[in-house]
């Protein structure tokens, strides 16, 4: 598979990977291809800027050696996250999740005086809830403007170049999917830990994505998608064994896995299955009852709005661009006033314009949104949670 470097007119640099991000193998098989689309998180400052957003090819490949599923087209991390319109504390569902996670970790290490390092700490939503001496590493502008007092912030990309050592616990929640240099990140986590230290990872559950056909979770910022098997094959060669794992409903399917630095290197798990359903749900996206119903009421002149300007919404809108939305409602002040890349729908705060139908594109928080908001129109959602 030859390397290709593409420079597009917006200044985004893209290349095709020639080796697996997780293990370095060159045995990559194409399993899914989506129509070209803009970067999912590149929310624009104007309608014209949104419409001018470059549409990039988007292809999923699977590594035959470690089973890691990943995006073939790679955009540099600094281009994706230097202007990162995502603050975890603005999402009520994430606030609840990290409160639970903090309790889980506090109970696990109760009575111990430990040093904690979090990779991709964002706005400190987890670290602020932990009782120990903590360090957060995150290169984003969101992290830089947080002004933490409960922890030390290193506002740089995490990797071996930082030379961090002496930690008892390293945490990586929903960040292992967002980097190109996965091997360097895991090696850096191993070097940061003392012998017997623990590495706790949360990632999207690929098996849940495949089982439900969630094609809207596929975008350039999600560079890798993990099953338990592929995650173990990526992490354990660096001297880890699996201590614990569980599946949680967050994000439409989440894996939480605990590793211990014991030098044993014991991968587990089976190959990922079920790409056929994902391909079929994508191919038939205009044949669903939701699409047909929305298209019909749109033809009748009724007003549509959406709720949730997350990356998955950008994917859904751009893969069905003929459905027109008066606005996309979002609870994050980092996104309000911006425009969805590609289609140009304005992002506004609640309640948004008067509308007949509100489609919850943040479908993984659908119940919570309905419980919090009084709405006289009809609620719909892009996917049904399991």
| Together in a domain, 315 and 377 | yes
Residue-wise pLDDT tens digits, 45-61: 999 999 999 999 999 99
Global pTM reads: 0.91
What is the structure's pLDDT at 385?
65
Q: Which domain holds residue 321?
A: 284-381
What average pLDDT does the segment 80-85 reach? 67
What distance in Å separates the CA atoms of residue 172 and residue 280, rounded to the nearest whole number? 32
Q: How far is CA 226 from the centre of its chain?
A: 12
Q: Considering the domain boundaries, does residue 291 fall inside one?
A: yes
Residue 238, SS3 per DSSP: helix
Which DSSP state fits 198?
E
Residue whose token pair is 């697996």:
20
Q: 373 vs 202, 302, 307, 322, 351, CA distance in Å?
A: 29, 21, 11, 27, 9
Residue-wise pLDDT tens digits, 152-176: 999 999 999 999 999 999 999 999 9
| Together in a domain, 66 and 103 | no
What distance in Å separates the CA atoms of residue 325 and residue 304, rounded to the nearest whole number? 5
pLDDT class for 135, splitting at 50, 70, 90?
very high
Helices (H) and strands (E) in the chain — how many of each?
11, 19
Give me the DSSP letters along 111-157. T---EEEEES-TTTTTGGG--SEEEEE--SHHHHTS--SSSEEE-S-
| Together in a domain, 106 and 59 | no
Q: What is the CATH number of the domain that holds 313?
A: 3.40.50.720
What distance in Å separates the CA atoms of residue 346 and residue 329, rounded to the nearest whole number? 9
If phi > 0 it is left, if psi is from -120 to 50 it is alpha, else beta; for residue 24 that is: left
| Together in a domain, 110 and 259 | yes
Instruction: With a cut of 80, say whether residue 7 has pLDDT above it.
Output: no
What distance in Å separates the CA atoms of residue 364 and residue 92, rounded to the nearest whole number? 12
What is the structure's pLDDT at 9?
39
Domain count for the chain? 3
Measure CA of the first residue to CA of the last residue in the chain; give whole Å. 37
| Together in a domain, 219 and 340 | no
Q: Are strands 13-16 and 73-75 parallel, antiparallel or unpaired?
A: antiparallel
| Together in a domain, 141 and 219 | yes
């Amino acid at each position: 598979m030859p390397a290709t470097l593409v420079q597009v007119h917006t200044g985004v640099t893209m290349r095709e990977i020639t080796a697996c991000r997780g293990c370095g193998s060159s045995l990559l098989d194409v399993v899914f291809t989506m129509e070209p689309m803009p970067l999912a998180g590149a929310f624009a400052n104007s309608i014209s800027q949104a419409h001018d957003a470059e549409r990039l090819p988007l292809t999923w490949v699977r590594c035959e050696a470690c089973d890691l599923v990943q995006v073939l087209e790679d955009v540099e991390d600094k281009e994706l996250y230097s202007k990162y319109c995502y603050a975890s504390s603005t999402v009520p569902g994430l606030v609840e999740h990290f409160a639970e996670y903090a309790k889980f970790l506090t109970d696990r290490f109760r009575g111990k005086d430990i040093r904690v390092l979090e990779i991709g700490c964002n706005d400190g939503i987890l670290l602020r809830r932990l009782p120990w001496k903590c360090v957060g590493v995150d290169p984003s502008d969101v992290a830089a403007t947080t002004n933490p007092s409960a922890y030390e912030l290193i506002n740089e990309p995490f990797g071996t170049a930082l030379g961090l050592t002496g930690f008892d616990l390293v945490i990586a929640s929903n960040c292992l999917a967002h980097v190109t240099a996965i091997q360097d990140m895991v090696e850096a986590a191993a070097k940061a830990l003392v012998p017997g230290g623990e590495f706790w990872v949360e990632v999207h559950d690929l098996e849940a994505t495949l089982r439900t056909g969630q094609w809207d979770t596929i975008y350039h910022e999600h560079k890798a998608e993990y099953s338990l098997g592929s995650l173990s094959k990526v992490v354990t060669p660096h001297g880890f064994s699996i201590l614990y794992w569980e599946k949680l409903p967050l994000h439409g399917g989440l894996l939480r896995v605990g590793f211990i630095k014991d030098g044993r290197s014991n991968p587990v798990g089976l190959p990922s299955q079920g790409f056929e359903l994902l391909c079929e749900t994508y191919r038939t996206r205009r044949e669903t009852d939701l699409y047909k119903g929305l298209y019909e009421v749109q033809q009748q002149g009724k007003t549509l709005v959406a709720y949730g300007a997350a990356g998955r919404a950008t994917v859904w809108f751009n893969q069905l661009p003929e459905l027109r939305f008066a606005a996309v409602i979002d609870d994050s002040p980092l996104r309000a006033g911006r425009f969805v890349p590609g289609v140009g729908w304005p992002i506004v705060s609640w309640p948004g314009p008067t509308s007949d139908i509100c489609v919850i594109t943040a479908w993984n928080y659908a119940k919570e949104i309905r419980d919090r908001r009084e709405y006289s129109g009809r609620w719909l959602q892009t996917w049904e949670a399991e």
